[in-house]
Structure 1
Amino acid sequence: MKAAGLGAMLLMYDENCRYVTGTLTPGWNRLKPGLRYALLCGDDAPVLFEQGDLGFQIERHSPWIPKDHVRWSYAWIKGAAGPASLSQVKKFTNAIKQEMKKAGVEGRKLGVDFVDINMIQVFKDEKIDWT
C-alpha cells in the first residue's frame, strides 16, 4: 500500500476480504460486493464490516481480529438505485471515513477493489480520493 501511495484499502470482494482478514463468509454472501467488506488502514489490523449475527461469530471464532475491529455492514446490492440505496452508501462512506480518521490516514488515497455508481457520486461529494 505504501509503495502505491495508498492510505487504506477497501476490500469488497469476498476473496480479498478473506485474504486480508482470514475469515470466511457463508455462501449467500459470495459474489455480492457490499454485503461484507474489510478496510485495511496503514499498519492497523483490518476492520471487518459484517452482516448481522455473522459479526458475532467472527468475534467468537477469529481471535486474530480485535473485537473492536468488527462492525455492522451497511449493505446494498450493487447497482441498486433510489433513495434507500443512496442512504446506505452515505452511511457506508461515513463509516469508512471514520475508520480512516481513527487510523490517521484521513485524506489519503483509498484503494478499492469494487465500485458502483452510488459510491462514485458519494465519494465525490465527500471528497474521497480513491483509485
Structure 2
Amino acid sequence: MQRADGDRQRRQELADVSSGHLPRLLPWTTDDGKRCLLSADTEGGFLSRLADDFEAAQLGLGSDMVTEASTVLGNPMATHAEVRYATLRLSECLTDVLRIAESRGLRLSVPDGDEDDDSPAASAEAVG
C-alpha cells in the first residue's frame, strides 16, 4: 500500500511539473508527521484560502507564544516545568513558521534573468 501511495504521489508531482504548476506545501501535516501538498491550478480556491487563514492563525499564535515565553524566561523564579513548556511551545511555533516560509518561498516566481544571481561571479559584480 505504501508503494502505491508513493507511486501515485510521484505521478501527481510529474503531472504538476509538466503543466508548469507546482503543488503548494500546506501549513499542516498528517497525523504521522508527513507533509501535505495541495495540487490545484487555481489560487484562491477553498483549500488555498483555508491554508492562508491557517497560516495567519499559526503566525499569530507564534507571536503570542514569544511574548509568553519572554515573560517566563525573564522570571528568575520560573520553574523547570514552566521553562520546559515554553521551550516546547516555541519549538512547535518555529516549526510552523519554517513550514510557512518554505511554502511561501516555493510559491515565489523567479524573475527572468535572475536565475544565475547566486553564482560567485554575480556576487562579486554586485559587491565591486
Q: How high is the TM-score relative to the length of structure 1?
A: 0.21
Return the index of the structure with the highest Cα Rg: 2
Q: TM-score, normalised by structure 2?
A: 0.22
More helix by share: 2
Which structure has more strand as a fraction of its residues? 1
